[in-house]
Amino acid sequence: MIVTAHRLRSIGWIALLAICAALVMVLAFRVNALRSQVHHAEMKIVALRQEKMYLETEFETRANQQQLKAWNDVEFGYVAPTAGQYLENERQLAALSKPVEPDAPEPIRVASADDAVVAQAAFPAMVSPLSGKPLGAEADEDKPKAEKIDHAKAAASLGERLAKVDRGDDATVKPRIRQLVAKDGDDSVKSARKAKPAKDTKQAKADSKDKPAKVATRKDKPVDKPSAKPSAKVASATKSPVAKKPAAAGKREVKATK
């Protein structure tokens, strides 16, 4: 009996030793597995960094100075900012928000709504390849002329149109454009007049929503709006600063991209 107990004890020790050895082995395997996982992860990181480097290099090559210059010459026509585009100090910045006074220099327009900009978006649906005039415009030459679409001007105002804040009630704007396009060749004075009430209600809506500062800038606009509306000729006759601006901007841009 004693012998058995003794033997049992030694078997127990052996078993314990075996279990410990097994555990150590399991642990060692686990450590090795983890280590190899780390190594794999590292290799992956290296591979990804290399990949990133390739892509970066490709990007840098495709967008190198000479390439950008070539694109700018052909496509964009960006020019370096001029002195007029810099603000010296807070005083100059504050002067921008003042209402326009008589004999004041041209104000800087805000990017928000100006109907003339939207009206310019109305490209003719089709231009006659012979005369270069919108189809339908040739037929009734004697009628009051449709606002001539100046492509250079329209392209110049693209930035402004893109910068226009989309207020969600786009539905009112889009049909209007469509309407204008459909009525292409028609008297733009008429279409503009039609479009006006829709705009005013939109403006009112927006005003009620907007911050007080912005309201102030927009409030002074309707004053010269009726004169700005009808056509480019009338606008230049009344010398409205708001209506004059896009034409001037267009000219400057064309000059710059030459």
Partner 1 sequence: MNALTASAAIASGRVQLANVRQRSLVTAKVRALWVLLLFVFATLTALVRIGQLGLFEDAPERRSMAEALLPPRGEITDRNGVVLARAFPSYSLWFNPKALGEGGSALVKTPEEVAKALMTIFPDADYADLVERLKSDKPSYLRKRVLPEEANKVFALGEPALEFPRENQRYYPQGSLAAHVLGYVDEAGEGHVGMEQVLQQRLLDPAQRGQPFALSIDARAQGALEDELSRGMLESNAKGAAGVVLDSDTGEVIALASLPSFNPNRSDRAFNGLVFNRVTNQVYELGSVMKPVTVASALDAGVIGDMSVRYPAAQLHIGRFTIHDSHNFGASLNVPEALIHSSNIVTAQVADKLGGPALRSTMMALHMNERPGIELPARGFPIWPKGDWARITTMTVSYGHGMAVSPLHLASAYAALVNGGVWRPATLFKVAPDKVPEGQRVFKASTSARLRQLLRMIVVDGTGKKADAPGFRVGGKTGSAEKPGSGGYRKTSLIATFAAAFPMDKPRYVVIAMLDEPQGTQATSFQRTAAWNAAPVVGRVVPRIGPLLGVVPDATRDVDISDLSPLIGNGEGE
State the residues that interact with partner 1 by CB under 8 A.
Answer: 39, 42-43, 45-46, 49-50, 53-54, 56-57, 60-61, 64-66, 68-69, 80-84, 86, 88
Closer residue to partner 1, CB minimum distance, 2 or 80: 80
The nearest distance, CB 90 to partner 1, in angstroms, is: 15
The nearest distance, CB 207 to partner 1, in angstroms, is: 36
Residue 129 near residue 213, CB atoms below 8 Å? no
DSSP run (H or E) holding 181: helix 170-182
How far, in Å, CA of 144 to CA of 166, rounded?
Answer: 33
The nearest distance, CB 93 to partner 1, in angstroms, is: 15
The nearest distance, CB 11 to partner 1, in angstroms, is: 34
**How does DSSP assign 164-223, residue by residue?**
S---S-HHHHHHHHHHHHHTTTS-HHHHHHHHHHHHHHHHHHHHHHS-HHHHHHHHTSGG
Closer residue to partner 1, CB minimum distance, 14 or 38: 38
- Residue 89 neighbours by CB under 8 Å, 6+ apart: none
Closer residue to partner 1, CB minimum distance, 75 or 170: 75
Closer residue to partner 1, CB minimum distance, 61 or 208: 61
